[in-house]
Amino acid sequence: MADLATLLGELERLVQECATQLGQASSSEELEAVRVEHLGRKGRMAGAMSALPSLGPEDKPVAGRKANEVKARLTAMLEARQTELDRAAEAEKLASFDPTLPGRTPPVGSLHPVTLVTREICDVFAGLGFDVVDGPEVENDWYNFEALNMPPDHPARDMQDTLYVTDSIVLRTHTSPLQVRSMLAQKPPVAVVAPGKVYRRDSDLTHTPMFHQIEGLLVDRKVSMADLRGTLTAFVRRIFGPETNVRFRPSFFPFTEPSAEVDISCVMCGGTGHIHGETCRVCKQTGWVEILGCGMVDPNVYGFVDYDPELYTGFAFGLGVERVAMLKYGIGDLRMFFENDVRFLSQFS
Ligand code: DAH
C-alpha cells in the first residue's frame, strides 16, 4: 500500500521544481517543455498520481484534493511566467525602437523648368488681359504657313526645317498658327498667348527637334508699335527684373511688317559685357541677348481670316521658352531640359 505522506511530499516537490525550471525558461518553447514535463499526459504529475489507486480509502480524497490544488498552482505559475516573458519581449521591442525618430518622407517631384517658365510668362500676360489658348501640334500647312503669308514656294519656308506628316500636314514649326486659329475663332479685339510644343528637323548643341514657344497676338482698333514696345517691355521686366533694358532691332518675318527682334540687356553681366574683368560668355561681350521675334501683323494675314485691315491693326510676337528659361536660370546647355536628370530638375522645386 502506497503512503499518503510520500505522495503529498512528492507533489509539493513537483511544485518547487517546476518553479525553479520556470525561472530558467526564457522562451515559449522552453515554457511548453516545462508544462509537458509536469502536467503532460506522461508527465511527473501523472506519474505521481499513478500511486492513487493503491492508497487507502480515507487517503484517496485527501490525495485527490491535493492533486487538484497542485495542478491549479502549476497552471497558474505557467501562465504567470508566460505573461512575464510576453512583457519582456514587448519591452525589448520598444527599447530597440525610437518613437521620436522622424518619419520617412517620400520624395516629392517638382515642375519642369519649362513648365514653370511657361506658367510664369502666361501669368504675366493674363495679368495684362490676354487669354491663354492652345491648338494642335499636328497642323495643316495652311495654318502653319499659307495663312501666315507663306505661299507654297515662299523662300521663308526654308527658315524652318519642317517635319512633314503628309504633303499638306506638318508638325507645327512654330506656335504662330495659333494667331490664325484665334482670329478665325473670334472678331477683334483679340488678345491671346499660346504656349506649346513645336517641331523642327534640327538637332545640335543649341537646337532640339522639339522645343517650346509662346505666341502672342493683340488685334484691335488703333494698336500701334508703341503698344507692342510697351507690352513687351513690361513683360520682360516682370520676368527678368525691373532694371532690364530692351532694344528693338529691325528684322524680317513673313507674317509681320514691320518686324523686329527684341534684345534684353544681358542678364549675366547686367549689360556691361564683362564679369569681374572677364568677357561675358552669355552675350559675348555685346551686353545684349536676343529674346524674341515680333512685329505688326502683316495686312495680308488679315485677308486670310477676314479681318478688315483698314479697321484693325495688331502686333504679334513669338518666343522660345527654353531660351527664356536658360537666361532666367543661367542654364548653359539646352540638353539639360530634355535629359530629365533628377539632380537638375530637383533644383526647381
Ligand atoms: N514664329 C517665329 C519663329 O518661330 C517667331 C515669331 C516671330 C512669332 C515674329 C511672331 C512674330 O508672332 O511676330 O521663329
Residue 60 and residue 148 in one domain: no
Q: Name the residue of 179, 181, 208, 255 to mutate for ligand 1: max ligand atoms within 8 A of Cβ.
A: 255
Q: Are 203 and 274 in contact (CB under 8 A)?
A: no
176 CA from centroid of ligand 1 (Å): 6
173 plus 311 within the same structural domain: yes
Same domain for 136 and 12: no
C-alpha to C-alpha distance for 124 and 236, rounded to whole angstroms: 10
Q: Determine the atom of ligand 1 nearest the C-alpha atom of 295.
A: 13
3-state class of 108 per DSSP? coil
Q: Which of 95, 130, 160 is the last residue of a domain?
A: 95
Asked, for residue 233, whether it belongs to a domain, the answer is: yes
pLDDT for position 205: 85
Look at residue 315 in the predicted model and tell me its pLDDT: 98
Report whether the peptide linkage leading into residue 189 is cis, meaning its omega lies within 30 degrees of zero: yes
Between CA 254 and CA 240, with CA 127 as vertex, the angle to 5 degrees is: 70
Q: Give 286 Cα–ligand 1 centroid separation in angstroms.
A: 23
Let me know if residue 333 belongs to a domain: yes
Q: Which of 144, 253, 259, 298 to mutate to test the pocket of ligand 1 (most atoms within 8 A of CB)?
A: 253
In this structure, is residue 289 part of a structural domain?
yes
Cα-to-centroid distance, 332 and ligand 1 (Å): 23
| Number of folded domains that form the chain | 2
Residue where a domain stops, chosen among 69, 95, 121: 95
Ligand 1 centroid vs 216 CA: distance in angstroms? 9
> Are the beta carbons of 255 and 176 closer than 8 angstroms?
yes
- Residue 59 has a pLDDT of 87
- 127 inside domain: yes
Same domain, 91 and 225: no
Within-domain flag for 52: yes
Whether residue 240 sits in one domain with residue 155: yes
Residues 213 and 246 in one domain: yes
For a mutational test of ligand 1's pocket, the pick from 217, 317, 322, i.e. the residue with the most ligand atoms closer than 8 A to its C-beta, is 317
Closest residue to atom 5 of ligand 1, CA basis: 318
Q: Which residues line ligand 1 (CB under 6 A)?
A: 174, 176, 215, 253, 256, 293-295, 316-318
User: Does residue 85 sit in the same domain as residue 167?
Assistant: no
- Both 27 and 168 in one domain: the answer is no
Kindly report the protein residue whose alpha carbon is nearest to atom 2 of ligand 1: 318
* Cβ contacts of 301-304, under 8 Å, gap ≥ 24: 301/147, 301/148, 301/149, 301/179, 301/180, 301/183, 301/255, 302/183, 304/146, 304/147, 304/180
Decide if 330 is inside a domain: yes
Question: Separation of 318 CA from ligand 1 center, angstroms?
Answer: 4
- What is the per-residue pLDDT across 282-337, written as a single tens digit (0 to 9) for each? 899 999 999 999 999 999 999 999 999 999 999 999 999 999 999 999 998 999 99
Regarding whether 85 and 185 lie in a shared domain, the answer is no
Q: Does 263 share its domain with 290? A: yes
**Phi/psi of residue 196, each to 5°?**
170, 175
Residues 89 and 139 in one domain: no
Domain coverage including residue 147: 113-348
Residue 336: predicted pLDDT? 94
The alpha carbon dihedral of 266, 269, 273, 279 has a sign of negative
Which residues of the chain register pLDDT less than 50?
none
* Probe target for ligand 1 pocket from 160, 163, 170, 174, with the most ligand atoms within 8 Å of CB: 174
113-132, pLDDT tens digit by residue? 999 999 999 999 999 999 99
CA of 44 relative to ligand 1 center, distance in Å = 100
Residue with C-alpha cell 500676360? Answer: 125
Give the number of other Cβ atoms within 10 Å of residue 1's Cβ. 8
Residue 209 burial class via C-beta count within 10 angstroms: exposed 0-12, middle 13-18, buried 19 and up:
middle
The per-residue DSSP string of 223-292 comes to --HHHHHHHHHHHHHHHH-TT--EEEEEEEETTEEEEEEEEEE-TTTTTSSEETTEEPTTTTTSSEEEEE
Residues found in the chain: 349
- State how far the Cα of 61 lies from the Cα of 127, in Å rounded to an integer: 101
Q: So what's the pLDDT on residue 159? A: 67
> Is residue 100 a part of any domain in this protein?
no
Q: Which is the closest atom of ligand 1 to the Cα of 175?
A: 1
* Three cell numbers, residue 23: 525561472
Q: Helix crossing, 4-24 with 28-39: angle to 10°?
A: 170
